[in-house]
Amino acid sequence: MTSPLDDRERAASSHPEPLVVRTVPLDAPDDLLSLLPEDAPLTWVRRGDGLVGWGEAARVEVGGASRFADAERWWQGVVGHAVVRDEVGLPGTGPVAFGSFAFDSRSAAGGVLVVPRVVVGRRDGHAWLTVVETAGTLGAAPDWSLVARHVAGLTPVRAPGPVAYASGAVEAEDWPAVVARGVAAIRSGELDKVVLARDEVATTAEPLDVRHALRRLADRYPTTWTFSVDGLIGATPELLVRSDKGLVTSRVLAGTIRRTGDDDADLARAAILAHSSKDLEEHEYAVASVARALAPYCSSTNVPDAPFVLHLPNVLHLASDVTAVLGGGDAEGGPHPTSLALAAALHPTAAVCGTPTEAARDLIRSIEGMDRARYAGPVGWVGADGDGEWGIALRSAELDPDDPRRLRLFAGCGIVAASDPAAELAESRAKLVPMRTALASD
């Protein structure tokens, strides 16, 4: 990513020419990922459905505490001026922006929204093509031949070759001491929960072709959301917020146990996790933070009585699907907040920060020893009507914009009074597995 903007004026001044946007139906392509170019692929895909995009019709970079509000204002300006003909009318048709935002308002990573020139989307057997022009008027309807020509020009996906791993900001063996400081702060009553993370640096033999990693993530972790936005890639199991015609959904995860690879043993571990008071406590803080953040915007919020166990290939998580209906609360009578505004209101949940939020953020700043950049921040897309989907950028890596062989991989763990630092280190290793597997060439 180029240097972020952190003043409102520059963010506001990057309005493009009015966009001319046309969406037409397509026969559903079998495989969205096979359409991606090597250069700057944009991706939000789960179980074969979702959006892929390429090219750049418009872009804004934002920074600081106002990063979400500035991005929102820019997007409203873009869609307010756009000429749109949408022949499909589903979530994700018409103009969309892919985005990702830094975890911490102080991070230089800031945030970005990108409007692709071409988007192909797929949902429940329906598919569409959106083409965005930056000059001119609505022309002839595009069709599959445009995508076919694009695909014919794609380079084959390249494997990255051997990968070398090195410590990030904190050596792995030193990280339990960081966790121990978190536990001590909790036991002394400073806060209830903190989520502490660490990074590691991967260096690939060949420049990374992001498509290689995305394919492996999507194949191995089909229940997660595989994403790629401006050099941030991953497969997150955690949905911060989906907003779809007034219905809001959030998949909250917190509380983890590693898988053994043996199905019977893993079933026993799922039962242990479902009854672990330490993990249930971690989970409860995360769910409460989501319910609290949604309350001002929603007339009703449904929080399941107890979490279910989400099975992923590397770990099992406690999970709760929280749903809510927009309207009522403090927002009574006003326009519905967009999915981006909801993501801003929810971020950071106690699944990635802690409880109370401010105390946890301060502790993270003082003991974690690294800049999380866009790890653990919102990543996803927003449409012209404000509906969209935003995940939390977990199980992720950030490419070095100056070196296509270098990436930072991230993993974090929720810490409560009963946490054991050595066990948290093992859990963080398990959470690095998806990205490590994504980079492998076997």
Ligand X SMILES: C=C(O[C@H]1C=CC=C(C(=O)O)[C@@H]1O)C(=O)O
Catalogue the active-site residues: 193, 238
Q: Judged by CB under 6 A, which of 317, 336, 347, 372 binds ligand X?
A: 317
Q: Judged by CB under 6 A, which of 394, 397, 407, 430 binds ligand X?
A: 394
Is 351 among the residues that bind ligand X (CB under 6 A)?
yes
Is 110 among the residues that bind ligand X (CB under 6 A)?
no
Name the one range near ligand X by CB under 6 A: 91-99, 160-168, 204-212, 252-260: 252-260
Nearer to ligand X, 52 or 252 (CB): 252
AA letter at 13: S
Is 193 among the residues that bind ligand X (CB under 6 A)?
no
Q: What is the chain's length? A: 442
Task: Determine contact, residues 407/207, Cβ cutoff 8 Å.
Answer: no
Nearer to ligand X, 119 or 415 (CB): 415
Q: Judged by CB under 6 A, which of 51, 97, 195, 273 binds ligand X?
A: 195
Say how far apart CA 179 and CA 416 lie, in whole Å: 10
Say how far apart CA 289 and CA 238 lie, in whole Å: 14
What are the structure tokens assigned to 172, written together?
């792995």
Give me the least distance between CB of 315 and ligand X, in Å please. Answer: 8
Q: Judged by CB under 6 A, which of 96, 254, 326, 359 binds ligand X?
A: 254
Say how far apart CA 109 and CA 368 lie, in whole Å: 17
Is 348 among the residues that bind ligand X (CB under 6 A)?
no
Task: Give me Rg for the CA atoms of the chain.
Answer: 21
Is 256 among the residues that bind ligand X (CB under 6 A)?
yes
Nearer to ligand X, 12 or 423 (CB): 423
Say how far apart CA 439 and CA 183 lie, in whole Å: 33
Is 431 among the residues that bind ligand X (CB under 6 A)?
yes
Say how far apart CA 418 and CA 280 lie, in whole Å: 11
User: What is the DSSP secondary structure assignment for residue 368, as one 8-state letter?
Assistant: S
User: Which candidate, 62, 431, 41, places its Cα nearest to that of 229?
Assistant: 41
Give me the least distance between CB of 142 and ligand X, in Å please. Answer: 39
Say how far apart CA 219 and CA 237 lie, in whole Å: 14
Q: Judged by CB under 6 A, which of 112, 185, 239, 411 binds ligand X?
A: 411
Question: Which sign, positive or negative, has the C-alpha torsion 295, 298, 304, 310?
Answer: negative
Say how far apart CA 308 and CA 305 lie, in whole Å: 10
Q: Judged by CB under 6 A, which of 114, 214, 413, 433 binds ligand X?
A: 413
Name the one range near ligand X by CB under 6 A: 102-110, 204-212, 361-369, 408-416: 408-416
Q: Judged by CB under 6 A, which of 70, 133, 238, 387 binds ligand X?
A: 238
Is 408 among the residues that bind ligand X (CB under 6 A)?
no
Name the one range near ligand X by CB under 6 A: 35-43, 90-98, 130-138, 412-420: 412-420
Quickly tell me which residue has 């409203």 as its tokens. 76
Distance (Å) of CA 93 to CA 44, 87, 120, 127, 154:
14, 9, 9, 9, 24
> For the packed helices 421-439 and 175-187, what is the interaxial angle rounded to 10 degrees?
130
Give me the least distance between CB of 150 and ligand X, in Å please. Answer: 34
Residues in contact with ligand X by the rule CB under 6 A:
195, 197, 238, 253-256, 282, 317, 351-352, 394-395, 411-414, 431
